Amino acid sequence: MKIAFLGLGIMGRPMAARLVAAGHEVTVWNRTPSRADLPGARTAATPAQAAAGAEVVWVCVSDTAASERVFLAEDGVLAAAAPGLLAADSSTISPQASRRIAARLAERGATLLDCPVTGSKQGAESGKLVFIAGGPKEAVARLQPLFQVMGQRVFHIGGNGMGLAAKLAMNLNIALIYQGFCEGLVLAEKSGVSAGQMLEIIGATMLRSGVIEYKAPFIRARDYSPNFPLKLMLKDIRLMLEHARSLQTELPALQTVAGIYEQAVRQGLGEQDYAATLGLMERQSGLAEA
Ligand code: NA7
């Protein structure tokens, strides 16, 4: 397929690289030109230039503003959207904003799927992402060959914005599970139980969790290099709270966790992995970081 891939960050780059390796004809665009080249792919100067003549446009950028820029700016995808174009947005953004972008593309006969991903950097590199899609069923079917190259599974939840709604609910769980783990660990460490002992107990009991299993090697090494940057988890937490407000729904525990992430960003931890909130909790409780 002729694919335009827009956004070569931690997630986008390995996703696009897998499409190139699978033999697709890929043109890439990235906001910062110094990070806009990918072996085996052409580079375009604007999103519109990348999208011109493409069958599929795949987007993976940071946030709502970035996605709006890529699709709707003067040199955005919309400017080059031909009838039949299929766009897939793997950025985690506001469901409402994604629906608005879908409506603008539909005016041009183009289709948008929101298809945020889960699986982090490792999942993107190994082609083991899970896609959570919202939009027309036929579009999901047409994209199957690409989903298969980048992921292990695709869930089609419903119409536009529904993939994002499910993704936000999932990341809410991740943020709360990890915060629960941090507080449990800090309490254990303050009592003289080691992090290693706690991780072993968690892994052997009903407390076992995919989130903690994934994070355990990084926690043991206190390696907070970004797999999922803390600032992006905070972006998602804000989206969850905004989405909940629009549905007149209270999220009291998440509200508290939001404050911790805000504080972490103020302390300069935004570029680190969200696992770095553990270091923050440890420092606040007077524990020296291992
Ligand atoms: P990264 O590694 O922070 O990459 C973000 C990408 O988004 C990167 O290519 C950025 O370009 C691009 N970006 C950021 N702001 C803009 C604007 N305003 N316009 C265009 N492009 C922009 O994030 P991840 O790859 O980890 O995550 C991507 C999404 O998946 C995100 O929604 C996560 O929550 C899930 P840059 O190179 O900085 O110019």
Q: Is residue 274 situated within a structural domain? A: yes
Clarify whether residues 238 and 115 are in a common domain: no
Output the CA 2–ligand 1 centroid distance in Å: 22
Ligand 1 atom nearest residue 93's Cα: 32
Total structural domains within the chain: 2
160 φψ region: left (φ > 0), alpha (ψ -120 to 50), beta (else): beta
pLDDT at 289: 56
Q: Is residue 63 situated within a structural domain? A: yes
Clarify whether residues 65 and 136 are in a common domain: yes
Nearest to 131 by CA among 15, 7, 2, 4: 15
Clarify whether residues 155 and 179 are in a common domain: no
14-51 confidence digits (pLDDT tens): 999 999 999 999 999 999 999 999 999 999 999 999 99
Residues touching ligand 1 (Cβ under 6 Å) are 7-12, 30-32, 35, 60-62, 65-66, 69-70, 90-92, 229, 232, 236
Q: Whose CA is nearest to atom 15 of ligand 1?
A: 66
CATH number at residue 276: 1.10.1040.10
CATH number at residue 106: 3.40.50.720
pLDDT at 179: 98
258-270 confidence digits (pLDDT tens): 999 999 999 999 9
70 contacts 77 by C-beta, under 8 angstroms: yes
127, 159, 191 - which closes a domain: 159
Question: Which of the residues 167, 215, 231, 235 is marked catalytic?
Answer: 167
Q: Is residue 56 situated within a structural domain? A: yes
Can you spell out the DSSP letters for 219-265?
Answer: HHTT----SSBHHHHHHHHHHHHHHHHHTT---HHHHHHHHHHHHHH
Q: Whose CA is nearest to atom 37 of ligand 1?
A: 32
118 forms bridges with which residues in the sheet?
A: 130
Cα of 45 vs its chain's centroid, Å: 24
Clarify whether residues 65 and 209 are in a common domain: no
Clarify whether residues 155 and 192 are in a common domain: no
Instruction: State yes or no: is 167 an active-site residue.
Output: yes
Q: Whose CA is nearest to atom 20 of ligand 1?
A: 66
- In which domain, by residue range, is 189 found? 165-284
Output the CA 270–ligand 1 centroid distance in Å: 14
Clarify whether residues 76 and 178 are in a common domain: no
pLDDT at 206: 96
Clarify whether residues 129 and 188 are in a common domain: no
Clarify whether residues 12 and 154 are in a common domain: yes
Clarify whether residues 118 and 197 are in a common domain: no
Ligand 1 atom nearest residue 90's Cα: 30
Helices (H), the chain: 12-21, 47-51, 64-72, 77-80, 95-107, 120-126, 137-142, 144-150, 162-190, 195-204, 210-220, 230-246, 252-266, 277-284
159, 175, 199 - which closes a domain: 159
Flag whether pLDDT at 290 surpasses 50. no
Flag whether pLDDT at 2 surpasses 70. yes
Output the CA 7–ligand 1 centroid distance in Å: 6
Ligand 1 atom nearest residue 121's Cα: 26
Q: Whose CA is nearest to atom 26 of ligand 1?
A: 10
pLDDT at 83: 96
Query: Mean of the pLDDT values across residues 173-184?
Result: 98
User: Rounded to an integer, what distance in angstroms lies between the CA atom of residue 41 and that of residue 3?
Assistant: 10
Clarify whether residues 169 and 143 are in a common domain: no
124, 139, 159 - which closes a domain: 159
Which one-letter amino acid corresponds to residue 45?
Answer: A
198-250 confidence digits (pLDDT tens): 999 999 999 999 999 999 999 999 999 999 999 999 999 999 999 999 999 99
Flag whether pLDDT at 73 surpasses 70. yes
pTM: 0.94
Q: Which of 5, 15, 61, 237 to mutate to test the pocket of ligand 1 (most atoms within 8 A of CB)?
A: 61
Cα of 202 vs its chain's centroid, Å: 26
129-170 confidence digits (pLDDT tens): 999 999 999 999 999 999 999 999 999 999 999 999 999 999
Q: Is residue 74 situated within a structural domain? A: yes
Q: Is residue 117 situated within a structural domain? A: yes
Clarify whether residues 96 and 122 are in a common domain: yes
Q: Is residue 289 situated within a structural domain? A: no
Q: Whose CA is nearest to atom 11 of ligand 1?
A: 31
Q: Is residue 149 situated within a structural domain? A: yes
Ligand 1 atom nearest residue 32's Cα: 39
Clarify whether residues 11 and 141 are in a common domain: yes
Q: Is residue 229 situated within a structural domain? A: yes
Cβ neighbours of residue 252 closer than 8 Å, sequence gap 6 or more? none
Share of the chain above pLDDT 70, in %: 99
